[in-house]
């Protein structure tokens, strides 16, 4: 998701122009889409004019040179980098299970289907996918509150953004609570990431203007 790119830029202290495309933007997304490389957002443009697309590719590119508390967000060690990539892909696989709900025309049925994805009784497909990731983190040698190693990585950032996207209320029908609490290790990752001073300050400010950012600010 594009929010991860913003988070990496924030942690790197980058000065960037954040242009968000909404329904009333000028130009509109419908007008912009044909001129984009793959017909998707986000789009990241460098100061020398290079245009980049695809969230994961952009985030990795930026994270490779972003130092946080003395460590790169995307580790230089191949094994650590693989673990980061593996978790990012697993989280995105879980998010992919949500896509089919957009095609449900009946609003009531859509809401019910989305709620069911997060059921904690063994039937919730997204919750069960997150549960497997939580168990992997539990069995790893990562420090408490991290997914890989003992420093903040891109995997932590991805987990933080995805969990908060689902529990923010941005997507109709997704329960805002009752499921993340059942994922103890991912909950700690979210809370630990939220506690970083730069992240805390940014999302606390964002939450003042938009309540959907409150989970990001509170952890």
Q: What gap in Å lies between CA 61 and CA 95, rounded to an integer?
A: 22
> Which 8-state DSSP code applies to residue 51?
E
From first to last of its 219 residues, the chain has per-residue pLDDT tens of 789 999 999 999 988 887 777 666 777 878 778 877 777 777 888 888 888 888 999 999 999 999 999 999 999 999 999 999 999 999 999 999 999 999 999 999 999 999 999 999 999 999 999 999 999 999 999 988 999 999 999 999 999 999 999 999 889 999 999 999 999 999 999 999 999 999 999 899 989 888 888 888 887
CA distance 31 to 35: 8
Region of 149 please: left (phi>0), alpha (psi -120 to 50) or beta.
Answer: left
pTM, rounded to two decimals: 0.92
Count Cβ atoms below 10 Å from residue 27 Cβ, excluding itself: 10
Return all residues near 217 (Cβ < 8 A) that are at least 6 apart.
194, 200, 203, 204, 206, 207
Whole-number Å distance between alpha carbons of 219 and 196: 10
């Amino acid at each position: 998701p594009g929010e991860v790119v913003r988070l990496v830029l924030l942690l790197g202290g980058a000065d960037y122009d954040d242009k968000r495309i909404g329904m009333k933007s000028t130009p509109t997304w419908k007008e912009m889409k044909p001129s984009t490389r793959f017909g998707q957002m986000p789009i990241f443009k460098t100061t020398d004019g290079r245009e980049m697309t695809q969230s994961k590719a952009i985030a990795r590119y930026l994270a490779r040179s972003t130092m946080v508390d003395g460590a790169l967000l995307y580790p230089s060690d191949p094994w650590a980098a693989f673990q980061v990539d593996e978790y990012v892909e697993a989280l995105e696989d879980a998010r992919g299970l949500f896509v089919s709900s957009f095609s449900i025309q009946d609003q009531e049925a859509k809401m019910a289907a989305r709620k069911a994805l997060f059921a904690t009784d063994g039937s919730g497909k997204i919750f069960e996918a997150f549960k497997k990731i939580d168990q992997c983190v539990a069995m790893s040698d990562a420090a408490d509150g991290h997914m890989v190693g003992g420093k903040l990585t891109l995997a932590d950032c991805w987990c933080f953004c995805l969990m908060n996207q689902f529990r923010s209320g941005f997507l109709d029908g997704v329960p805002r609570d009752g499921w993340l609490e059942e994922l103890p290790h991912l909950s700690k990752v979210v809370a630990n990431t939220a506690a970083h001073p730069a992240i805390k300050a940014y999302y606390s400010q964002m939450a003042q203007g938009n309540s959907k950012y409150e989970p990001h600010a509170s952890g």
